[in-house]
């Protein structure tokens, strides 16, 4: 169980981590210009390992937008803005991409942040189109947005992407699109979130009848296990759904996932890659799950109706973030090109295991941003 900890110099620790991240990102841009990495191999970004899909392309420019926001009052601000635009613009055609379920990852980290700085209508139009494209994945009989794997497949990851559908629906007052987003979230809540707050990675449906058939996984230990990154996606994603809708069912679900995370994660807040892996396997941590959970708990703290509970979420988020900064930062290893060590991408494929992973980098910076706000 996570043990709440605090240090007198947390703000300095977080600021130092942010500055280190800025140096690492700048070095990546200079070393491999116009390259969108996914995970490191032996600490190096540029390699020949499998990418699987291009679902991570928004995270590097998203980090640049965070760094621009944090360093606006410094001489570096112009460079960060220039790079953030340079790396965001090539993603624009993907607003029409129907091959992936990751348009939220791609556009909420980039165009959404860019739009908040400028309020340019053209940026908003891209976000709306991305949400409409994402909505086309909806399977009417099963009431869910399908994963890129197959039409009968529902991923817990999509809870991090349904936000782009909510955005498009709410900005255009499109009741039908809003209904798609709502029904997807409610189906995910019903079939992938268990009574104890743990989560399954994937659900399989019968396409003819819409009947839910079973829970399974691609990246977790077993179909009935709790893969920690999937739990973090749910904690964060249902909290974001509550922020968009105010529906108490989504807040209840996010809090249930948060309770499981707190109860079953070691004291420093960094979880094993899967909570149900054998004891030896649980020694492999996933810092990317911790980064997502920390940012999600900061978000949840702002929505909890009980101020005591809200403060508990905030302090838990800080405990996790402090552990990441003090134990898992790559600052002590000059040969390491990433920011945060100890992430896990796909253990069964042997991809990005105990490495830096781009979603871990992005949500780590977002958690730092929220802590420093």
How far, in Å, CA of 94 to CA of 165, rounded? 15
How far, in Å, CA of 144 to CA of 134, rounded? 11
Region of residue 173 (left: phi > 0; alpha: psi -120 to 50; beta: else): left
User: In 3D, which of 197, 198, 92, 183 has the Cα closest to residue 137?
Assistant: 183
Q: What is the pLDDT of residue 279?
A: 83
Is 196's pLDDT higher than 90? yes
Q: What is the pLDDT of residue 48?
A: 83
Q: Kindly state the average pLDDT of the residues 145-174.
A: 98
Q: What is the pLDDT of residue 54?
A: 87
Q: Kindly state the average pLDDT of the residues 207-228.
A: 97
Q: How far is CA 290 from CA 27, 90, 270, 363, in A?
A: 25, 30, 5, 9
Residue pLDDT, tens place only, 71-130: 999 999 999 999 999 999 999 999 999 999 999 999 999 999 999 999 999 999 999 999
Residue pLDDT, tens place only, 314-362: 999 999 999 999 999 999 899 999 999 999 999 999 999 999 999 999 9
Q: What is the pLDDT of residue 6?
A: 64
Is 52's pLDDT higher than 90? no
DSSP 80-117: HHHHHHHHHGGGGGGGG--S-S-HHHHHHTTHHHHHHH
């Amino acid at each position: 169980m996570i043990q709440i900890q605090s240090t007198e110099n947390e703000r300095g620790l977080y600021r130092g981590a942010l500055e280190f991240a800025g140096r690492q990102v700048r070095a990546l841009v200079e070393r491999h210009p116009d390259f969108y990495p996914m995970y490191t191999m032996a600490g190096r970004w540029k390699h020949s390992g499998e990418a699987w899909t291009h679902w991570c392309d928004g995270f590097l420019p998203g980090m640049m937008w965070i760094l621009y926001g944090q360093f606006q009052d410094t001489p570096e601000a112009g460079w960060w803005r220039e790079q953030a635009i340079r790396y965001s613009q090539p993603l624009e055609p993907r607003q029409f991409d129907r091959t992936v379920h990751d348009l939220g990852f791609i556009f909420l980290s980039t165009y959404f942040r860019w739009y908040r700085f400028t309020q340019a209508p053209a940026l908003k139009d891209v976000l709306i189109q991305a949400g409409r494209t994402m909505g086309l994945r909806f399977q009417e009989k099963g009431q869910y947005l399908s994963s890129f794997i197959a039409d009968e497949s529902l991923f817990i990851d999509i809870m991090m992407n349904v936000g782009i559908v909510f955005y498009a629906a709410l900005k255009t007052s499109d009741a039908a699109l809003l209904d798609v987003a709502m029904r997807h979230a409610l189906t995910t809540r019903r079939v992938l979130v268990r009574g104890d707050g743990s989560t399954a990675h994937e659900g399989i449906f019968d396409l003819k009848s819409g009947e839910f058939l079973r829970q399974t996984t691609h990246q977790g230990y077993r179909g009935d296990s709790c893969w920690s990154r999937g739990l973090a996606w749910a904690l964060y994603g249902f909290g974001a759904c509550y922020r968009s809708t105010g529906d108490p069912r989504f807040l209840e679900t996010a809090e249930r996932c948060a309770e499981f995370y707190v109860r079953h994660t070691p004291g420093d807040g960094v979880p094993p890659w899967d909570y149900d892996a054998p004891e030896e396997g649980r020694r492999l941590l996933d810092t990317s799950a911790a980064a997502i959970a920390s940012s999600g708990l900061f978000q949840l703290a702002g929505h909890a109706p009980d101020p005591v509970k809200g403060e508990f979420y905030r302090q838990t988020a800080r405990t996790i973030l402090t552990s990441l900064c003090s134990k898992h930062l790559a600052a002590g290893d000059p040969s390491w090109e990433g920011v945060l060590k100890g992430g896990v991408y796909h253990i069964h494929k042997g991809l990005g295991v105990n490495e830096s992973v781009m979603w871990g980098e992005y949500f780590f910076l977002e958690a730092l941003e929220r802590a420093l706000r």
